[in-house]
């Protein structure tokens, strides 16, 4: 129970809450724009269905990524010659947690670089 209320856990919860609020607003704007193309009598129903589907998908994706991050067993093993260069222990490798963090970092670098070069 102490780990649940640690400063790190509370900061993570705050960060996740802020991200969910921003993504929720983004969903509202997107669903409103897309549903505005429909006849007036269908817009409200389309908005409700769109927001319910968006919320369901977000919850499913959060559970899925949470499950993947909890997989800490190595799935990609680092070859022996690299162990001595990187001062790793035999059997060290990349887990799904590591792979997700690396892919996320590469994506953020790509997006930041492409945004800088567009301006």
Whether the pLDDT of residue 83 is over 70: the answer is: no
Quick one: 66 and 87 in the same domain? Answer: no
What is d(CA 109, CA 119) in angstroms, rounded to the nearest whole number?
Answer: 16
Beta bridge partners of 94: 76
Quick one: 40 and 85 in the same domain? Answer: no
pTM of the model: 0.56
Range 28-39 average pLDDT = 90
What is d(CA 96, CA 117) in angstroms, rounded to the nearest whole number?
Answer: 31
Range 43-61 average pLDDT = 91
Range 67-93 average pLDDT = 73
Q: How does residue 119 score in pLDDT terms, banded at 50, 70 and 90?
A: low
Q: Given this model, what pLDDT does residue 60 score?
A: 92
Quick one: 16 and 63 in the same domain? Answer: yes
Quick one: 61 and 101 in the same domain? Answer: no
Q: Given this model, what pLDDT does residue 41 score?
A: 92
| Domain around 100 | 72-119
Quick one: 41 and 22 in the same domain? Answer: yes
Contacts of 24 (CB under 8 A, 6+ apart): none
């Amino acid at each position: 129970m102490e780990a649940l209320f640690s400063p790190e856990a509370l900061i993570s919860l705050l960060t996740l809450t802020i991200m969910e609020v921003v993504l929720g607003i983004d969903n509202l704007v997107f669903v409103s724009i897309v549903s505005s193309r429909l006849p007036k009598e269908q817009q409200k129903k389309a908005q409700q269905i769109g927001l319910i589907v968006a919320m369901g998908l977000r919850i499913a994706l959060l559970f899925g990524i949470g499950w993947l991050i909890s997989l800490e067993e190595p799935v990609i093993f680092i070859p022996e010659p690299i162990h001595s260069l990187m001062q790793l222990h035999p059997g060290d490798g990349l887990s799904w947690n590591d792979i997700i963090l690396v892919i996320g970092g590469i994506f953020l670098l790509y997006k930041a670089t492409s945004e800088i070069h567009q301006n």
